[in-house]
Structure 1
């Protein structure tokens, strides 16, 4: 369950035209965001938005609400980078979005501030690393597909799906650089196997979340 800081006392007021928006996230309802909130208050945030959601969960209502309120000149502040983004690529996409809106971004723990030249340099390094990661996955995928085709031509048998191979299938799927068909060909399994593994993972997450409540 997300919680908007406007419902809490002492979380700042809106004064002036440009605002500092704090964003905090905890993974489960059993955790609290006090450490993040204290840091964001000390950083001078006018308003703090809090989501309760895992890092892999795409829908975060308070983050969406905050983005709707952003105006040119505003600054988004987080306690740590992983509170905002689910991956390097996701962080880069989010900061590109802020940049298009004319909004600054500050991460307190990593001392990143895109309103400064040094902060923009750090952002550009992140973007380059994200592109490098995508290119590396693409190269490995191409080599793997060629090897898989070669095994198919020589009558190779599918390898047993151990934990390492299952983790690799999940990683490839989460990278969003391949289709299910390509992953199946690369890992030498059927598409139905891929869908079964994804469904098993989704069910396990739902069960774990229900037990935590």
Structure 2
């Protein structure tokens, strides 16, 4: 059986993808709203050996090539094939599956490069990645003195709003001259 699927992109357009899927002789057409994939999941679960899942384009199937590859693997796991009309990709041909895998790897590398470039730019501007520090260097310096004066790590931690383990870790670092910000 030939079944069609599309996800709405940017809201309401439905006529064009439906027309494409009807032209592809789909007996059943399902769609999801923006950010949803419940119909796609149910449609893939209902596929059986020899079925064909048709989508108007990569963008109408999934938000990324990596997700398209994941969908393709699920479809093939059910014994069915995937056809993307606009890109003229039919995964019944092994070369098409290899093309999807190559595109997915390329997209992953692009994302990693963009992430690394962003982290590099942030480092150049003095911004540290991750969660902001709760304690400034002045407070960290006071921890060892407070512990030496007889206060417990738990009471200092409550006052500073951190975990007691953080207090003991920073106290161990303080005598070596390290400010604990590495």
TM more than 0.5: yes
**Is 1:98 paired with 2:98?**
no
Contact between 1:88 and 1:130, CA under 8 Å: does it hold in 2?
A: yes
1:40 aligns with one of 21, 24, 37:
21
Larger Rg: 2
- Distance in 1 (CA, whole Å) between partners of 2:110 and 2:13 is 37
1:124 is matched with: 98
Contact between 2:65 and 2:107, CA under 8 Å: does it hold in 1?
A: no
Deviation at 1:27, TM superposition (A): 3.2
Deviation at 1:144, TM superposition (A): 8.6
- Distance in 2 (CA, whole Å) between partners of 1:25 and 1:142 is 31
- Distance in 2 (CA, whole Å) between partners of 1:123 and 1:138 is 23
Aligned pairs (5 A) from 1:46-195: 46-53=27-34, 57=35, 59-115=36-92, 117=93, 120-135=94-109, 158-159=126-127, 188-192=128-132
Q: 1:139 to 1:84 in 2, by over 3 A?
A: closer
* CA offset digits 1:87-127 (Å, max 9, x no partner): 11111111111111111111111111122x3xx31321220
Deviation at 1:84, TM superposition (A): 0.6
Q: 1:41 to 1:192 in 2, by over 3 A?
A: farther
Q: How many pairs align?
A: 132
**Over aligned residue pairs, what C-alpha RMSD do you find?**
3.0
**Is 1:26 paired with 2:8?**
yes
Q: 1:23 to 1:192 in 2, by over 3 A?
A: farther
- Distance in 2 (CA, whole Å) between partners of 1:90 and 1:192 is 32
Residue 30 of structure 2 aligns to a residue in which SS? strand
- Distance in 2 (CA, whole Å) between partners of 1:141 and 1:28 is 25
- Distance in 2 (CA, whole Å) between partners of 1:130 and 1:122 is 12
* Structure 1: runs of 5 or more not aligned: 1-18, 160-187, 194-213
Q: Which runs of 4+ in 1 moved over 6 A?
A: 139-145
* Structure 2: runs of 5 or more not aligned: 134-182
- Distance in 2 (CA, whole Å) between partners of 1:38 and 1:126 is 25
2:147 is matched with: none
Deviation at 1:130, TM superposition (A): 1.9
Could you state the TM-score of these two structures normalised by the residue count of structure 1?
0.52
Could you state the TM-score of these two structures normalised by the residue count of structure 2?
0.60
